[in-house]
Amino acid sequence: MEKATISKLKNNLSAYLRKVRAGQAVVIYDRDVPIARLERIETKGRGADRLALLRAQGVLRPPLRQPSAASLRATLRDPVRRGARLAEAVQEGRQEDR
């Protein structure tokens, strides 16, 4: 992990962004105190890693139970009725899950 002061980062921002784009993290210091970390945002390829990170951060949680293949097929065959309001469709779905 690379370290950079604020002034060094400002003067060499393009070089640091190239390093971040290559996968290296950069910790930014203000008077020898770490204040931020620059890291690459994964946009493709590592979907499972991204999901694991979101779970670890508490942003995402796995389902309580895995749906069966039959219930998934039934869901696909039973679309929301035409003209139904979204709130009504959500309520119906919740009623069915109980």
**What residue spans define the domains of the chain?**
2-43, 67-98
pLDDT of residue 45: 54
pLDDT at 22 over 80: yes
Alpha helices in the chain, H assignment, sequence order: 6-11, 13-21, 47-56, 69-77, 86-97
Of 91 and 82, the structure prediction assigns the larger pLDDT to 91
Question: Which amino acid is present at 84?
Answer: A
d(CA 22, CA 2): 12
- Confidence band for 21, pLDDT divided at 50, 70 and 90: confident
85/87 Cα distance (integer angstroms): 6
Just give the CATH number of 2-43: 3.40.1620
